[in-house]
Amino acid sequence: MRNFFKKKKKAGNPMYQGAMVLLYNLKVDSVIALEMLCDSLDLKYVHIAPAEYLQPIGALAEISGVARTEEVYEGPGFSETMIVMKNFTAVAMNDFLDRMKRTRGIYEIDLRAIVTPNNLRWNSLQLREELAAEKKKIEQAEAVEEQGQEAPAAQQEVPEGE
């Protein structure tokens, strides 16, 4: 006899097959909206607790060959929101970030990263430190660029003959 009440398993979104998102410090509204977005895309997500901050990123992202450690973080966490994406193609990453921007309830994510061979053995605190430093450099470069664009306009205001 056929069971009509049995839920059929979805085939999954091939764009996100094998992909995963690590989530850090999200506010309640953002958590709900981001979980709903990930569920709609059949995208696996994992909330990372401060106690796990010393675990290698690769272990948190379930990468074979990168093992968890016995260490438990007991210090103060960090305040920035952060997501770390694993196994995203460029197309999938752009699609996901675009969907995040368009999804009501997902507020600004301070730091974003992709798991790479360079950072998969770092812990969350090391990754956060690197991302925060990169973000600061970008903001400083943008400020310098803005000042450079404003300077010619200010020079034009000086009357000729002086």
pLDDT at 130 over 70: yes
Q: Is residue 129 part of a domain?
A: yes
pLDDT reported for residue 13: 79
Q: Which pLDDT score, from 0 to 100, does residue 7 have? A: 43
Range of the domain at 142: 14-148
Who contacts 79 (Cβ-Cβ below 8 Å, separation ≥6)?
A: 25
Residue 8: pLDDT band (50, 70, 90) is: very low
Q: Does residue 9 belong to any structural domain of this protein?
A: no
Domain membership of residue 79 (yes or no) is yes
pLDDT tens digits along 49-101: 999 999 999 999 999 999 999 999 999 889 999 999 999 999 999 999 999 99
Task: Please report whether residue 137 resides in a domain.
Answer: yes
Q: Number of structural domains, the chain?
A: 1
* Residue closest to 32 by CA, chosen among 47, 11, 52, 53: 47
Whether 70 is in a domain gets the answer: yes
Question: Measured between alpha carbons, how far is 26 from 10 in angstroms, rounded to an integer?
Answer: 27
Whether residue 12 has pLDDT greater than 70: no
In the predicted structure, residue 131 carries a pLDDT above the cut 50: yes
Say which DSSP state 80 is in: S
Mean pLDDT of the chain: 86
74 within a domain of the structure (yes/no)? yes
Q: How far apart are CA 21 and CA 98, in angstroms?
A: 15
